[in-house]
Amino acid sequence: MLLDDFDFPLPEGQIATRPANPRGAARLLVADGVSHFDQRVADLPSWLRPGDRLVLNNTRVIPARLAGARARSGAQGDTVARIEITLLNQVPDGRWRALAKPLRKLAVGDILTFVPGFHATVAAREAASALLAFNLTGPAFDAALDAAGMMPLPPYIAALRPADAQDRSDYQPLFARHAGAVAAPTASLHFDAALMAALAARGVSFTEVTLHVGAGTFLPVKVQDVTSHRMHAEWGEVTAQAAAEIGATKAAGGRVIPVGTTALRLIETAAASGMIAPWRGDTDIFIYPGYGFRVADGLMTNFHLPKSTLLMLVSALMGRQRMLDLYGHAIATGYRFFSYGDASLLLPHGADRA
């Protein structure tokens, strides 16, 4: 199974830089193994059945991108240089691992100032990141980050425009509760209060799980044999209540449909024994064609990058050629791609509308 097997041409003009407004106005490609239907996200309830359960990732995106200045004293006197960092994850001792531009210009001991009273010291330099010790912790750190930070837009959006105030709400799911993600679970961005109410009225239930999406979700696959690729690890939790709800739906014959690849990867991790169970920890599960799904009966997800692990995941659910055909249809009919783009509802066992 080669990386080039998951390639497709995508016109740059179909990369969405802003979401649909209202959220339910985004397009929705509903597909099973043989048919597809061009819909809107607001139509989602009519494609689900009473007794179905949507699994939602309730992670909250932090404003993880910080711009500041690096001050240094040396033989040539005092110098100041601009620096940009993107927080990746907090390590157990309270320090933060972060990407930095330019990383090669950082040295251990450098002080990076973002706004008055909020700075970090470079504690270590790693191959692709830096370890930072901030001068603030706890609620004081959270408040300073909220004031000084910017939303960490994906590279393919950031290359087209900078983050702004509108992204504070646009790049945050309605049901975001637990801070820790540095990328949004983007299928969740389509949900608003009106859609949630319509789904509940339809008899669809909801279960929340938490997977803190990391910047590694955007890392390219660098090996030709995709089976040798190693996934980045992300922290997640399926509570006892969540596992019980999902198990009850399966036992009653309802469908379990994750909203987003992050929720899918997490519940499949929690079902490693074959049955869903409470789970907490780091997951690096890699799902590609040939994988046998244990819990997920479908998936709502956006349209993904060529040659990405996420395209491999949906190919595992629907079949590689089927997904390439669906993506070809989406491109030909003007669907918008990636994080702020349109969505798909993938139902490998058949799509039926009420």
What string of DSSP letters covers 130-160? EEEEES--HHHHHHHHHHH-B----HHHHTT
Could you tell me the two tokens for 129?
A: 């990141």
Could you tell me the two tokens for 212?
A: 């803190």
Fold classification of 3-61+168-346 is: QueA-like (3.40.1780)
C-alpha–C-alpha distance, residues 307 and 217, integer Å? 13
DSSP type of residue 46: G
Could you tell me the two tokens for 56?
A: 């939602």
Ramachandran angles phi, psi of 17, nearest 5°: -105, -10
- Among residues of the chain, what percentage have pLDDT more than 90? 86
pLDDT for the residue 74:
67
3-state secondary structure of 292: coil
Residue 15 · residue 337 · CB < 8 Å: yes
Q: Are strands 59-61 and 178-181 parallel, antiparallel or unpaired?
A: parallel
How far from the centroid of its chain's Cα atoms is residue 79's Cα? 38
Domains of the chain, residue spans: 3-61+168-346, 65-148
pLDDT for the residue 232:
85
Which ranges of the chain have pLDDT less than 50?
A: none
Global confidence as pTM:
0.93
Residue 266 · residue 235 · CB < 8 Å: no
Two domains, one topology: 3-61+168-346 and 65-148: no
pLDDT for the residue 52:
98
Residue in the structure block whose two tokens are 């993904």 = 304
Ramachandran angles phi, psi of 304, nearest 5°: -105, 170
pLDDT for the residue 105:
87
Q: Are strands 256-258 and 53-57 parallel, antiparallel or unpaired?
A: parallel
Architecture of the domain delimited by 65-148: Beta Barrel (2.40)
3-state secondary structure of 348: coil
